[in-house]
Chains A and B, each alone.
Chain A
Amino acid sequence: MKCIITIELGTNGIRVFAFDLNGRVIGSLKGYYPTFHTEPDHSEQDPEQIFITTLYVLKNLLNEHVHPKKYKCACICFSAAMHSVLAVDNNGNPLGNAITWSDNRAKKEAQELRSSPLGKKLYDATGTPIHPMSPLLKIAWLREHDPVRFRQTSKFLSIKSYIIHQLTGEYLIDYSIASATGLLNIHTIAWEPDALQYAGITADQLPTLAPIFTTAGKLRKAYQQSLGLPADTKILIGSSDGCLATLGDGVNGEGNATITIEDSGAVRIMGPTVLKDDQMRFFNYLLTEGSYVSGGPTNNGGNIFEWFTRQFGDFTNPFDIEHSMQQLIEEAAQVPVGSEGLLFLPYLLGERAPIWNANARGAYFGLNIKHEHKHFVRATIEGILYEIYSIGKSLGEQRTIKSLSVNGSFGTLPFCTQLIADMYNKPVRLRQQFHSVSFGAWLVSATEMGIYKSLEEAAQTVQLPDVYKPNPQHHAVYADYFAIFEKLSTKLFDEFEAIGNLQQKHAATETTVKMSG
């Protein structure tokens, strides 16, 4: 019997699934690799550790789950987090660590480019918001601040391109990862000359552009032997985690949106055209030719609730944060919808969509003497989800959203899913069984192998059984409060900047006081 293996190169680690040809999971294993913060604003990962972890997990999955059951692996398909950059020399050896999406070292460069006419032009061409996450700005940063490494660089790869090169010897980048670099013209599907010029590189310093179904050559012999895989195993380059999560949730074509809430979050839609936006709020990434995954990302998702839990949760077991979160959610459920007028702005990490303000800060608003601990819990969750709703609302100005699905660890808590249904006033479908990303990669593989005629057909077979129905009364309450939430988030613009500056200024003084006195 044949099986399909999907490899998900995520932010914190790798997840490998083996599926049979009906889309059932035969086995899955994960492996962790760390993110290093060598300096504030820097986030890096060790490419060799990612590679070894990939080999190790793959090997164990093949030994434990696939070989004993006599499955023959027909196809391996990749997905990966977006926006990573790894500089390699002309032997393909990494020059230092890979820089990941959450790295903010290019903050200053991003601010300057964003407010320039070139920034607007590049956004229109590439569909990637001008932000330090974007490889475009990270490469520009390297040119300015790390000229030695920049000069030695033969190619700038994504982490996925590096892993595929290690396994097969080919330098490839799929359309969606490429379109998240800020260097690809998503209309012509070619590297954008203006972007290359801004970054100071040439097109041959980037991997070869490849559509989603591209086979990345053959697995090197040594890996065929050590992994026990046949020489004709297909290595599909696949796509990005964002695009595949959308596909894996059955979203294909217009009218559907999918909400992902892990640490951070995003609302995504799919369509045949890009979303145009004068305020440069949305991303548009290319899944396949003529099919764009568009949407807005937030910095403040499950990580903010985790922060709250650490500060105000009850830790009987210091290691068990899930348990504390569960207790808090039970507490929140005792409070009426809308937290009796307590509002929370969740911008603890600044914010991307829809306000794109790195200076934004958190706030509780509307506090009165009646409010108790439990109101803060509920207001915090509601605040995080108002932010998710505000992204959906701004997307809705350009597209009609008929149905919604939710995935990701924080979003799929039943309490949160119901809140999302109420806020949007739309039924919400929920995938609980497994990661949408890997299932999306399975759909791609199955289509490539001819099980489905097209990705559209593949996506139609996705069944999301759990439906949360909106409560119109709750929706009315949320609509009232949301109006204030939305006003606050834009009205406080000057104050966000002022407090951000003060925090920076006084943080510096405090350090000197500590050192001297």
Chain B
Amino acid sequence: MNQFLLQQGKAAELRLFPHLLEVGVKKNGAIQLNAFLTTTTECLRIYYIIEGKFEWRINHQSYVFYPGDVAVILPGTPFGSDNGILEIGSFTWLHLAIQKLDNGHLLPGKWSGLTESEGAAIGKILSLNSSPVLTRFTEAGKILKCIQAELFNHEIGFQACINHQLDELMIQTTRHMTRQSQPGRDFPKTFMRLEEVLRQDLSHQWTVEEMAALVGLGTTLFTERVKSYSGFSPINYLINIRISEAIKLLKRPDISVTDIALDTGFYSSQHFSTTFKKLTGYRPSEFRKNHLKNK
């Protein structure tokens, strides 16, 4: 099992795993030209570096990979090497079929044992993450090795075991991503990042599970942390951001109240109006009128 390439439709080993499009290990002893051209695919690609140093381009940006690093390439993202050069070293990878939803979020397939909400949360983290490099992520190497061994050994229960390992790979990858995005390892920074993500997509119907997953915590601990840090429950914090954003929009005469309601994530203008009035004492239209006639 020194070096191999299994591809869906060609390799018998993958027949039971239609979602596993490609699995491989490559050891490259000499620099090769035109061996690693930039391509775009509709699957999720995960590359793990075993030895050597590789310089690859992901989405037209250069990244350098060292042993223990992982490259996570999302569907539709161009990936390869400048000039197609493949440097000396070895790496292992797998390509995984994954659903891409209309809103750009990813969803693990039917093979996954993750619950619907956890799967959605993981897909969201994957699609929101801006850095495709996960440094010092040796667990990924171990999981890939285990998947390969199971594929060849066919021991009892290997099918469940491989699907389970794929879930494990998704879980560990998203955990690594959320940890990596919190360089300070403390909650205030994490919270700041959460706030940014929420503001970028206020019209999304955020659930506490999704928010918790974004920072890599379970919902109970997440709610407790948010409450003690910010003074608000996660949902009330979200409502506060929504109303603050809505106030800004209400001060501009060119957007309709209904549009403001939907843009800031309320179900309807009625829902917006009730929440707004409860907090400020004004209906949104009254608030707007007061502000436009002011002086």
Among A49, A55, A92, A515, point to the contact of B279 (Cβ < 8 A): A55
- A13 cross-chain contacts in B, Cβ below 8 A: 230-231
Q: Which residues of B contact A91 (CB under 8 A)?
A: 251, 291-292, 294-295
Q: Which of B187, B190, B243 has the most CB of A within 10 A?
A: B243
Q: Are A34 and B195 in contact (CB under 8 A)?
A: yes
CB <8 Å contact, B244 and A310: no
Question: For the complex, what is the distance from the CA of A57 to the CA of B225, rounded to whole Å?
Answer: 18
Chain B residue nearest to A16 (CB atoms) is B231
Also in contact, A223 and B231, with CB within 8 A (given A49-B244, A56-B236, A318-B185): no
**Chain A residues, CB < 8 A from B286:** 222
Judged by a CB distance under 8 angstroms, whether A46 is at the interface is yes
Complex interface: chain A residues within 8 A of B62 (CB) = 515
Does B137 belong to the interface (CB within 8 Å)?
no
Residues of chain B from 256 to 288 with CB closer than 8 A to chain A in the complex: 277-282, 286
Q: Which of B229, B244, B277 contacts A226 (CB 8 A)?
A: B277
Is B184 engaged at the interface, CB distance under 8 Å to the other chain? yes
CA separation between A30 and B236, bound complex, in Å?
A: 13
* Given A29-B231, A31-B231, A92-B295; A319-B187 close (CB under 8 Å): yes
Whole-angstrom distance between the Cβ of B263 and the nearest chain A Cβ = 15
Give the contacts of B169-195 with A (CB-CB under 8 A): 179, 182, 184-187, 190-192, 195
Contact yes or no, A310 B230, CB < 8 A: no
- Contact with A57, one of B192, B231, B248, B294 (Cβ below 8 angstroms): B231
Residues of A within 8 A of B232 (CB): 31-32, 56
Classify the secondary structure of B's interface with A. Answer: helix
Contact A93 B291 (CB under 8 A): yes
Closest to A219 in B: B281
* Residue pair A46, B231 in contact (C-beta under 8 Å): no
B85 contacts the other chain (CB 8 A): no
Query: Which of A30, A34, A51, A92 is the one whose CB lies under 8 Å from B247?
Result: A51
Q: Does A48 contact B247, Cβ atoms closer than 8 Å?
A: yes
* Of listed A53, A57, A220, residue having the most chain B CB within 10 A: A53
Q: Is A321 an interface residue (CB 8 A)?
A: yes
Is B280 within 8 A of A49, CB to CB?
no
Answer whether A319 and B186 are a contact pair too, CB < 8 Å, given A34-B192, A226-B280. Answer: yes
Interface residues of B in 211-255 (CB under 8 A from A): 225, 229-232, 236-237, 240-241, 243-245, 247-248, 251
With both beta carbons as reference points, the residue of chain A lying nearest to B282 in the complex is identified as A222
User: Contacts A52-B279, A515-B62: A310 and B187 contacting too (C-beta < 8 A)?
Assistant: no
Identity of the chain A residue whose Cβ is nearest the Cβ of B188 in the assembled complex = A12
Q: How far is the CB of B235 from chain A (nearest CB, A)?
A: 12
Answer whether A310 and B184 are a contact pair too, CB < 8 Å, given A29-B231, A31-B230, A48-B247. Answer: yes
A153 to chain B, nearest CB (A): 15
Is residue A364 contacting chain B, with contact meaning CB distance below 8 A? no
CA distance A322 to B227 in the complex (A): 17
- Which residue on chain B has the smallest CB distance to residue A169? B294
Spell out A's residues near B (CB within 8 Å). Answer: 13, 29-32, 34, 46, 48-49, 51-53, 55-57, 59, 90-94, 220-227, 306, 310, 315, 318-319, 321, 515
Chain B contacts to A: CB under 8 angstroms: 62, 179, 182, 184-187, 190-192, 195, 225, 229-232, 236-237, 240-241, 243-245, 247-248, 251, 277-282, 286, 291-292, 294-295
The 6 closest A-B pairs by CB, nearest first: A226-B281, A222-B281, A32-B230, A49-B244, A30-B231, A48-B244
A-B contact pairs, 19 of them (CB 8 A): A31-B231, A31-B232, A31-B240, A34-B192, A34-B195, A48-B247, A52-B243, A52-B280, A53-B240, A55-B279, A56-B240, A90-B295, A91-B251, A222-B280, A224-B281, A226-B280, A315-B185, A319-B190, A321-B185
- With A29-B231, A223-B280, A306-B186 known, 17 other A-B pairs at CB within 8 A are A31-B230, A32-B230, A34-B192, A34-B195, A49-B241, A51-B247, A90-B295, A91-B294, A92-B291, A92-B294, A92-B295, A222-B280, A318-B182, A318-B185, A319-B185, A319-B186, A319-B187
